[in-house]
Amino acid sequence: MKSMTGYGEAASQGRSAKVLVQIRTLNHRHLDLQPRLPREYLAVEEEIRKRVREKISRGRVELFVTRTAVKTPVRRLEIDEKLLEQYLQSFRRIKNRYGLKGELDVSLLADLPDLFKLAEPETREGEERALVFKALDRALANLDRSREREGRHLTVDIAKQARELVSIAAALSHESGKIGVKIKESLVQKEGAEAGIGTAPTNGGASFKGEIHEETVRLRTHVAELGRLLRKHAAMGKRIEFLLQEIVRELNTISSKAPQLPVIQLVVAGKEHVEKIREQAQNIE
């Protein structure tokens, strides 16, 4: 069992850059992936999403990738020689057409638009792509260990509540048997009265309606399945939530069909344990 909440990070370094990947996961009904990438790595965003989906099936995932240059990059000043040639040809043409004198001052070139530009250093795309996924895989592994640790704590808490539900389901099954006996006694007394036999009621005149044997059997089945789920290692949060709904459904039916005080008390206690499990299950993947 894994918790939906956790944190993992990892870094990898190459000749040109250091890459840091940080992943934080939070509770969410579905998978909600929120990557934050530097522009240099936008091309690999879909592959990053794919690798995360292979590891995480549920929860909000906040993923941050940070790139730091290992050395201060050296930018180059470049001149657009073709554009310069066009400028010079235009100056010569103007000079000849209008009979202008004098020579072109080199300092004038600095004011010509788009003639000079600073070239950013090229990134080693293949090397940095490998760095990103190396850090990502390590961060996901660290995240997984974090979620498993938290999941073990959740398992202990939920298992404790599940054991209480086992006891309550057994007690309700016992009450079902007692109610069945009372119903039979009531039927015997009714048949005796109809036949003119003056048998005195043994239950104080109370009418024991509501056979709940089938409901208690289903309840014990659901509770047993909950215990089996807790021993598995796959994603099970949604399955647990579904089982809790079924358990509450059976408890409600039992209390409405057999509103005797011992039954009601057991049902109320059972619902309390279900709610405690539900609170914890919201953190399970």
Residue 176 exposed, middle or buried by CB count within 10 Å (0-12, 13-18, 19+) = buried
- Nearest CA to 44 among 25, 21, 26? 21
Q: Is the pLDDT of residue 57 over 70?
A: yes
Domains of the chain with CATH codes: 6-72+126-148 (3.30.230.10), 76-119 (no CATH), 149-281 (1.20.120)
Q: In whole numbers, what is the pLDDT of the chain averaged over residues?
A: 86
C-alpha distances in angstroms, 5 versus 38, 153, 159, 171, 257? Answer: 25, 12, 19, 36, 41
Q: What are phi and psi of 266, to 5 degrees?
A: -65, -40
Residue 243 tokens read as 């089982």
The residue to which tokens 């209390």 are assigned: 255
pLDDT at 211: 81
Q: How confident is the model at residue 122 (pLDDT cuts 50, 70, 90)?
A: low
Q: How confident is the model at residue 173 (pLDDT cuts 50, 70, 90)?
A: very high
The residue to which tokens 């109809």 are assigned: 194
Quick: pLDDT tens for 207-217. 445 689 999 99
Q: Is the pLDDT of residue 197 over 90?
A: no
Quote the CA–CA distance of 97 and 58 in Å, as a whole number. Answer: 75
Residue 189 tokens read as 């007394």
Quote the CA–CA distance of 271 and 197 in Å, as a whole number. Answer: 44
- The single-letter code of the amino acid at 206 is A
Neighbouring-strand partners of residue 234: none
pLDDT at 185: 67
Quote the CA–CA distance of 158 and 71 in Å, as a whole number. Answer: 52
pLDDT at 74: 65
Helical segments of the chain, H only: 45-55, 81-98, 125-194, 213-230, 237-257, 261-281
Instruction: Write the DSSP symbol of residue 103.
Output: -
Quick: pLDDT tens for 59-95. 999 999 999 988 765 677 888 889 888 888 888 888 8
User: Contact, 125 vs 15, CB < 8 A?
Assistant: no
- State what percent of residues in the chain have pLDDT above 90: 51
Residue 59 tokens read as 């929860």
Instruction: Read off the pTM.
Output: 0.63
pLDDT at 100: 77
Query: Picking from 50-54, 90-94, 267-271, which range would have the lowest pLDDT averaged per residue?
Result: 90-94
Instruction: Write the DSSP symbol of residue 205.
Output: T
pLDDT at 206: 44
Quote the CA–CA distance of 229 and 239 in Å, as a whole number. Answer: 8
Give me the mean pLDDT over the 33-58 stretch. 94
User: Contact, 222 vs 250, CB < 8 A?
Assistant: yes
User: Contact, 47 vs 133, CB < 8 A?
Assistant: yes
The neighbour count for residue 86, using CB atoms within 10 Å, is 11
| 261 phi-psi bin (left φ>0, alpha ψ -120 to 50, beta other) | alpha
